[in-house]
Amino acid sequence: MEDKSILVAELLEASRIHTRIHDDPEVAYLVVLRNEVIGLKAVPGIEVVPREETDGVDIHFTVQEGVQISKPVYLCFGMLSAEGKQHIKLNVSIQKNARVNIFAHCTFPNSGGIVHRMDADIEIQEHARYSYYERHIHGPDGGIEVVPRAKVILNEGAYFKTEFELLRGRVGLIDIDYDCRCRAHSVLEMLARISGRGDDTIKIRESGHLDGEYARGVLTTKIAIRDKATAEVYNTLTASAPYARGHVDCKEIVQDQARAKAVPIIEVRNSKAHITHEAALGSVDTKQLQTLMSRGLSEDEGVELIIKGLLS
Amino acid sequence: MGMEILQLKDVSLTLNENLILRNITLDIWQGYVHAVSGPNGAGKSTLASTIMGLEGYRDISGSILFNGENIDGLAVDERARRGITMAWQEPARYEGLLVKDFLLASSRSKDLALIRDTVSSLGMNPDTYLGRALDKTLSGGERKKIELASILVNEARLVLLDEPDSGIDVESLERIFEAIGLLKKRGTTVILITHSLAVLQQADHAFLMCHGEILDKGKKDKIIRYFENKCIPCGHKNIPDEWEPVRGR
């Protein structure tokens, strides 16, 4: 068995968060290598209770009432091997008036036959704020299935923001399914930015239900695919209370033989609610590209810059 | 008057089975500010798109020479690399793309200090704007000025400015005119596409265009006189009914 500190260092280095964690004693973190907790540090106001299981870890994460965590909290889930399965069960409770920003680094730099699954139950209590930035690093050839599932409850005045981003490597298969219920005056923001190529498959199913008065929600998806990659996006936003407001936005740039599909579903069940949606799928916008080409960029350079902007 | 940097020889263009440009022949002299003026629908923007070689505007009859070289059939980026660039009447919006990255991509020197100075010269604070996305959060006027900044840092030899005053407030208009003056001072050749008298006043020389044809050319004051009389009589449908359909020059 390798020394745990070496494994921690390797995984954090691969996640590029090594110095951020070790240089700051006020930063809380949890590092999970497959089904083993190899690093854990809490700070006052945060409870992290992990339980190792056969193929993953069951984690209870609580931010206590009124506690506002100023520094980001780092969760690092990963595997350094090429093959294997990791199942993360995450039970999150952000208590009243608490606030926390989580950076979840899911790191599989050598992926060749990896399955990474997450099942999360998240409750954000009254006037609490929870931001979850999920950053993925995969191997250069894909060989990975990423299946995050979450059920989220936003109580009155709560705020939930989530961003999913693939920083490096190939997608493989990404299959996201988030479902959020939003009570009065709560705010939901979900954003996914993914670039796929080869035979990558991207599936996104995000739902927000604006059940309370003045609840607000925005579901944003930005995807660029090329080669024979496919992307399917099913975004659903419903509003059933007065003054609920929402927007669904899906942009997908498609190149080569890639295929994109977007199915926005918006439903309003209250005459004082309002939801809009916007979707654009297909080639790079001609005017954008021609403007860049008129400055001397080649077509490929122009496309690359436009995609960089879209995914930034 | 000077050396021609751009020559159009008997250029015609058909789009969707409609003849949009009709046997256009013109010379553009190096280092001068030229204007192509005329009513809406005259074909001015089409002419600019044809010179720039935008997609769909390259299948012409006749020929276009830039610096003596025939550039017919060359793609936009190839023309740009030879020294032609263009600012659109309605600039493109780019989701997520930072103004800084757009200007760096447009810049020949990649000199960030020069980019900052250029943005400042157009009345915009670079600390505010360079980190913003070039998207719908910027007003049309702001995007117009950013696009002009991209033209200035591009250091092209021939600049096409399509309706440079479109969506611009009065104060910003002065900045735009200063930028046109700066281009001229640098020796850049400018073609203004306009139906605005204020913009036309910035030119040294102008062409009057209507119904896909060049009707007249000369010093700007000569062309301005047509506008003071609303235009010249001709058979085109833009002309008010009471005017006789006679082409007088």
Written as six digits, the tokens of B154 are 């591009």
pLDDT of residue A26: 87
Residue owning tokens 């520094």: A71
Q: Does B97 touch chain A (CB under 8 A)?
A: yes
Give per-residue pLDDT as tens, A242-293.
999 999 999 999 999 999 999 999 999 999 999 999 999 999 999 999 999 9
Written as six digits, the tokens of A96 are 């009243």
- Put simply, the answer to whether B55 touches A290 (Cβ < 8 Å) is yes
Q: Does A276 touch chain B (CB under 8 A)?
A: no
Which of B77, B86, B89, B98 is most worth mutating to test chain A (most A CB atoms within 10 A of its CB)?
Answer: B77
pLDDT of residue B249: 34
Give per-residue pLDDT as tens, A92-106.
999 999 999 999 999
How close does chain A come to B25, measured CA to CA in Å? 23
State the Rg of chain B over Cα: 18
Higher pLDDT, A54 or A14: A54
Read off the amino acid at residue B48: A
Report residue B239's pLDDT band, with 50, 70 and 90 as the boundaries: very low
Q: What is the ipTM of this complex?
A: 0.92
Does residue A205 carry a pLDDT above 50? yes
Q: Does A191 touch chain B (CB under 8 A)?
A: no
Does residue A20 carry a pLDDT above 80? no
B 52-71: CB under 8 A from A: 52, 54-55
Span A122-127, average pLDDT:
98
Between CA B177 and CA A252 the distance in angstroms is 39
Q: Does B137 touch chain A (CB under 8 A)?
A: no
Give per-residue pLDDT as tens, B78-126.
999 999 999 999 999 999 999 999 999 999 999 999 999 999 999 999 9
Assign 3-class secondary structure to B116-140. HHHHHHCCCCHHHHCCCECCCCCCH
pLDDT of residue A2: 54
Between CA A95 and CA A77 the distance in angstroms is 24
- A6 alpha-carbon distance from chain centroid: 28
Give per-residue pLDDT as tens, B166-200.
888 888 888 899 999 999 999 999 999 998 899 99
Written as six digits, the tokens of A162 are 């989530």
Which of B52, B78, B85, B95 is most worth mutating to test chain A (most A CB atoms within 10 A of its CB)?
Answer: B95
Query: Which DSSP category does A68 fall into?
Result: B
- Give the nearest partner residue to A306 out of B84, B94, B154, using CB atoms: B94
Give per-residue pLDDT as tens, A218-228.
999 999 999 99
**Nearest chain B residue (CA) to A284:** B94
Cβ–Cβ < 8 Å for A190, A206:
yes
Q: In what order do the strands lie in the sheet with A36-41?
A: A36-41, A29-33, A73-78, A99-108, A129-138, A159-168, A187-196, A216-225, A245-254, A274-282
Question: Which residues does residue A150 pair with via DSSP β-bridges, in sequence order?
Answer: A120, A178
> Mean pLDDT across chain B, nearest whole number?
90
How large a percentage of chain A has pLDDT more than 70?
A: 97
Written as six digits, the tokens of A73 are 């909290």
Higher pLDDT, B226 or A103: A103
Does residue A13 carry a pLDDT above 80? no
Spatial CA neighbour of B157 closest among B192, B191, B188: B188
Of A167-171, A253-257, B10-14, B51-55, the one with minimum mean pLDDT is A167-171
pLDDT of residue B2: 63
- Put simply, the answer to whether B150 touches A222 (Cβ < 8 Å) is no
Span B217-227, average pLDDT:
86
How close does chain B come to A307, measured CA to CA in Å? 9
The H-or-E segment that residue A309 falls in is: helix A299-311
pLDDT of residue B27: 95
Span B45-52, average pLDDT:
97
Spatial CA neighbour of A194 closest among A178, A217, A170: A170
